[in-house]
Structure 1
């Protein structure tokens, strides 16, 4: 085959060989803002090391391999015995192992732990997002288990361990580090977990039960244990289901099939059946939702962080491509219209990062005021940031043109992953209704939220106007449920605007307020007012190799 015409020109180099953390100005500034001075040097070194690996050729290859070779279910061994095992490609274990050893399941036991973990999660998710699911569930199981001191004493050191032992099915007592999953949704109920039919029959007065029923979505089914909801005699209750019992016998945990999903292909999501499956009660009977709610809140925060990570990687790829690709007589990044698109995308990414890190800092603070703030801010952020992820990744893909539509670019994988976080742990309507519930039942939550956004009052007239409009929406109860999405969108935008006005460079804050809060913004990206300092926004978002 003739190759004389096959001279490769005008193709950008791959975005590899860089530090994902230090190249992200919005993230590094947030870490500096939210961590005490005495923790900064150690955190910077830790995150830079993780960022260097995340931006390496090796980690990029792990991500491709884990998705090109998805998990495979083995229900029986060669002799016909039921084994219910899932095989993963070695790349999956390398990704997951690196995450665990870098503390991405351990935020609870160290100063500044939530900020450091959220920053690490945001950095490492850019290498591959699917394995973030077991990381998130393992991290989030801790507050639920703390409702039972005996369970917490046994499991918490293993959950927060930085030793990865793979998904080897052994009794938890024989392992130093474990992974957790969860199973709440059932096919007849979905988000309405109170419609669950899985039955829990008490074995004794010490909290042992036998579960019978099904779970329609159970992610990471090779985890060491799961938190599930089931109907006990006293009502919907939370239970811990181990994969392997203390005597080494496997618990009854029938994996019926793995889901064939749009994205998140490296991660196994399954349907499971319980048939007199041994379980240990967590919390009181009939208080299952209350027991597991803090786990849900923590995983919702990870949805925000994970979406911010996907956006950041998509924008970094788009800006990188435009910095090297020439068309119509010049480099794309210098073309006014492309610069507008990139600046608009960069704004969305920075606002998501600033909000995600502010929520993580509130977890570290753990004051009554901050807990009240999180009650509204988490579902509002979960609603809005995860909703913005898909259009951001789609527009960023388009910046690469046909190159972005090709699997080798990595952009299709980002796009397939983007809708997941808006669905997992409650879709948009669930989040919006949760905000309404908090507004109606917890007045301290609204006070804390308003105090937070009010810290930027007077700094920008467009933000002040948006706060006024939001208050008018809150005061109007007519048809509030049907208007809930619009209200929650306003709340999230006002909160992001307040954070950027206080902490971001003036060009970033000005552009955000002019577009998101000043009503001078189109429905597509790339419609920022041309008078803004768009070049500095794009340069700030660029990941320099």
Structure 2
């Protein structure tokens, strides 16, 4: 049987080119369309990027909780294919395009269109990169000067060796998506670091995607549980200390910041994406 021959996912799409023609200014479309055509061709053919070939090496993550001496290490190993696809998306400008703002408000549809071309071969790397986008926007709007200086630029970087990925930790056992029942507490330490006011977080996060990320934004309670969602605050949590570190340095265990990875979730889909149950024990976090 003859294999199905795929065309460029941009030029052969029956809707996308005409949709962009309708919503983008003519000059913007003229400038971004060659990049979309080029990237669409890269996805299916270019041997140097090997996006499709990388998918064959994607495998579920593995968690090693203890070393040979019985020390808790919580070492999380993700596949080379997963790392490659995530790095490729970052290098192509996801989420960097959104914040470079070369085309103003039209940077969003341009970036989303570019992500769409790869999404079928992405093995869900756009899940953590979308959370990274959300964290970048939060810091852009409400972050401290230190967060904006030292973290924001790395969340939107096109250099995979320099770029940060962010998770989002909201879900807990009592409430699920009802964040008003959040149990994780935050204790103010009456001091600050270069990122802002300093807190200790204690609690349990039931469903935390992007467990291999560099940072996360986490909900925690600073007031009485009787106040529901009104006593919740959002904190920036580094997964490993020291933070930030030189990319050439060894990767510390999340236990370095009081984060224990209890188990990886066995999901129906998104197998390559590490999603875990985490406990936070005097975990350092910053707020604005």
Task: In structure 2, list runs of 5 or more residues that go unmatched.
Answer: 225-230, 246-251
The reply to whether residue 114 of structure 1 matches residue 108 of structure 2 is: yes
Cα deviation code 1:69-115 (max 9, x no counterpart): 21111223333332222211111111111100000112122122201
For residues 73-472 of structure 1, what are the structure 2 equivalents within 5 Å? 73-106=63-96, 107-110=98-101, 111=103, 112-145=106-139, 146-150=141-145, 151-165=147-161, 176-204=162-190, 206=192, 207-233=197-223, 235-246=231-242, 250-282=256-288
Superposition deviation, residue 125 in structure 1: 0.7
Cα deviation code 1:476-531 (max 9, x no counterpart): xxxxxxxxxxxxxxxxxxxxxxxxxxxxxxxxxxxxxxxxxxxxxxxxxxxxxxxx
For residues 510-525 of structure 1, what are the structure 2 equivalents within 5 Å? none
Q: 1:271 to 1:21 in 2, by over 3 A?
A: same
Distance 1:44 1:28 in 2: 9
In the other structure, the counterpart of 2:62 is: 72
Superposition deviation, residue 51 in structure 1: 1.2
Q: 1:15 to 1:251 in 2, by over 3 A?
A: farther
Distance 1:124 1:149 in 2: 34
Which of 137-146 and 155-164 deviates more? Answer: 137-146
The reply to whether residue 44 of structure 1 matches residue 33 of structure 2 is: yes
Q: Which structure features the higher share of strand residues?
A: 2
Question: When the two structures are superposed, what TM-score results if normalisation uses the length of structure 1?
Answer: 0.45
Superposition deviation, residue 205 in structure 1: 5.1
Superposition deviation, residue 32 in structure 1: 2.3
Superposition deviation, residue 129 in structure 1: 3.6
Q: Which structure features the higher share of helix residues?
A: 1
Distance 2:190 2:166 in 1: 25
Q: What secondary structure does 2:22 align onto?
A: helix
Distance 1:276 1:143 in 2: 27
Distance 2:223 2:209 in 1: 27
Distance 2:31 2:80 in 1: 30
Distance 1:27 1:79 in 2: 55
Superposition deviation, residue 12 in structure 1: 4.4
Distance 1:254 1:60 in 2: 34
Task: In structure 1, list runs of 5 or more residues that go unmatched.
Answer: 1-10, 166-175, 283-545
Distance 1:155 1:64 in 2: 33
Distance 2:55 2:31 in 1: 27
CA contact (8 A) 1:201 1:233 kept: no
Report how many residues are paired.
Answer: 259
Q: What secondary structure does 2:84 align onto?
A: helix
Distance 1:83 1:29 in 2: 52
Superposition deviation, residue 62 in structure 1: 2.3
Distance 2:37 2:71 in 1: 47
CA contact (8 A) 1:199 1:211 kept: yes
The reply to whether residue 30 of structure 1 matches residue 19 of structure 2 is: yes
Distance 1:80 1:32 in 2: 60
Q: What secondary structure does 2:176 align onto?
A: coil
In the other structure, the counterpart of 1:533 is: none
Distance 2:160 2:63 in 1: 22
Q: CA RMSD in A?
A: 1.9
Distance 2:20 2:258 in 1: 44
Between structure 1 and structure 2, the one with the greater Rg is: 1
